[in-house]
Amino acid sequence: MSSATISLLILAGAAVLFITEIIPLAVTAMSVAVVLTLTNVLDVQTAFSGLMDSTVILFAGMYVIGAGLFETGVAKIIGDQAARFARTEKLAIISVMIIGAGLSSILPNTGTTAVLLPIVLGISSAAGYRRSKLLMPLVFAAGLGGIITLVGTPPNMVVASQLNKAGLGTFGFMEFAIIGIPLTIIGIIYMVTIGYKLTPDGRADIETEKTEAQNKRTQKEVCRFKQWISVITLLGTVLVMMFQTKLGIPLHVAAVIGALILVVTGVLTEKQAYKAIDWTTIFLFAGMIPLATALDKTGGGRVITDLVISVIGRNASPYVLTSGLFILSCGLTQFMSNTATTTLLAPIGMAIAQDLGANPKPVLLAIAVAASCAFATPVATPPNTLVFGPGRYRFIDYIRVGLPLIVICWVVSIIIIPIWWPYF
């Protein structure tokens, strides 16, 4: 049996276990790494490299920074102020999504979600809103907002590079906004209507949050010094993330520095820092990284691609091919990184478009947009995983809420893209 086949079988098995939750999700994820090693698909170092992945380190650091805001009461103060404007849960969702999409258009969506997570939780706690109703809209907005600009998400830059290499020019910085902004607006409307009904009620969340709020009120008032340290640390981390290219400091390093500052200054104790990290999220993401690597290196992703292309047929109309490539890209990105998905499909889309004598721009755009529609699984993108624990979601919740949004994005994209970027 080939390594590609083994990788695909492992993917199928993991998907079944994730959906049914027969065993804990983190156990399933780490079991994937073990099976990849035992079947010799990956060596031990690669199979467990997820535990050292920069995104996992970023998660840990930002969880600690978020805890600093909670332990000092800053998150509650921010939440109280924000709750005055977001007087209803749906208004809070709209506000969170607009801010998340706006930041994500110029910042990495993972960094955006990591920074906003403690603030959103503060709003939830202060206003008594259900965190399950706020966190999923946040990550979906971060994904949609990334589509708006050239630098908003890696897939956009991948297809721009592919176009440039072919000597066909490139995409403008704001050219993606023509499809990104409509999708973001539609995504917001969806999340406060259909999506709102589909997200978990989180009644247990409310009780937990009320208890947490009561516990905060019974504690002694935290000294102003610690509050200022926690705020300055968060703002400093955000600034470093914004100018990471110029400063040469990666996102995960900035997060770790911020976490260390909070512990060294006594804002958090060592035990509080450890407790702040959602270890289920850490192991869930770390365990699935090697599977994405395996699908990429063994050609498992290409097996799926070739199968779909053979079904569609290279001689199909551009509309059918673009639609098929959108679905394929979106399907792969639920378990592979959006960068790897786009890198795999962009050359194929380019070749097919050129064979047909069609403009490759709409085909490449569809692939990039679809790769950013990573809404149907908690492991599709780091932000999805980041809120999995705090939102107390189940795997099936992402399918229930994310799949209809993906269908809407598909329909809108297939309509809008050919209008602005004609095939002929």
pLDDT digit string, tens, across residues 81-94:
766 777 889 999 99
Average pLDDT over residues 244-258: 84
* pLDDT band at residue 217 under the 50/70/90 scheme: very low
* pLDDT band at residue 260 under the 50/70/90 scheme: very high
- Mean pLDDT of the residues in the chain: 84
> Which pLDDT value is given to residue 211?
47
Question: 184 CB contacts (<8 Å, ≥6 apart)?
Answer: 97, 101, 141, 144, 145, 147, 148
Q: Are the beta carbons of 236 and 258 closer than 8 angstroms? A: yes
Pick from 200-204, 328-332, 379-383: least confident: 200-204
Q: Are the beta carbons of 278 and 64 closer than 8 angstroms? A: no
Quick one: CA dihedral 124, 127, 128, 130, positive or negative?
negative
Written as six digits, the tokens of 384 are: 């999805």
Average pLDDT over residues 266-272: 89
> Which pLDDT value is given to residue 219?
45
Identify which of 116-120, 121-125, 191-195, 349-353 has the greatest average pLDDT.
Answer: 191-195
Comparing 209 with 56, the larger pLDDT belongs to: 56
Q: Are the beta carbons of 216 and 418 closer than 8 angstroms? A: no
Tell me the C-alpha distance between 264 and 235, whole Å: 18
Asked whether the predicted pLDDT for residue 21 surpasses 70, the reply is yes
Written as six digits, the tokens of 72 are: 């000092």
Asked whether the predicted pLDDT for residue 163 surpasses 90, the reply is no
End-to-end CA distance of the chain: 44
Per cent of the chain over pLDDT 70 is: 93
Q: What is the three-class DSSP state of 268? A: coil
Model pLDDT for residues 312-321, shown as the tens digit of each residue: 776 777 888 8
Other Cβ atoms less than 10 A from the Cβ of 15: the count is 15
H runs (alpha helix) in 105-223: 109-127, 131-145, 154-165, 177-191, 194-198, 203-218
Q: Indicate the angle between helix axes 3-20 and 300-312, nearest 10 degrees.
A: 90
Tell me the C-alpha distance between 140 and 338, whole Å: 14
> Which pLDDT value is given to residue 35?
92
Tell me the C-alpha distance between 322 and 312, whole Å: 10
Residue type (1 letter), 44: V
Comparing 208 with 62, the larger pLDDT belongs to: 62
Average pLDDT over residues 47-67: 82
Question: 22 CB contacts (<8 Å, ≥6 apart)?
Answer: none
- Nearest partner of 273 among 258, 283, 263, judged by Cα: 263
Average pLDDT over residues 203-212: 52
Average pLDDT over residues 210-221: 48
Tell me the C-alpha distance between 118 and 134, whole Å: 12
341 to each of 86, 134, 159, 419, how far by Cα in Å? Answer: 37, 28, 11, 25
Q: Are the beta carbons of 255 and 65 closer than 8 angstroms? A: yes
Per cent of the chain over pLDDT 90 is: 29
Average pLDDT over residues 270-290: 82
> Which pLDDT value is given to residue 218?
41
Comparing 350 with 273, the larger pLDDT belongs to: 273
- Nearest partner of 97 among 204, 208, 192, judged by Cα: 192
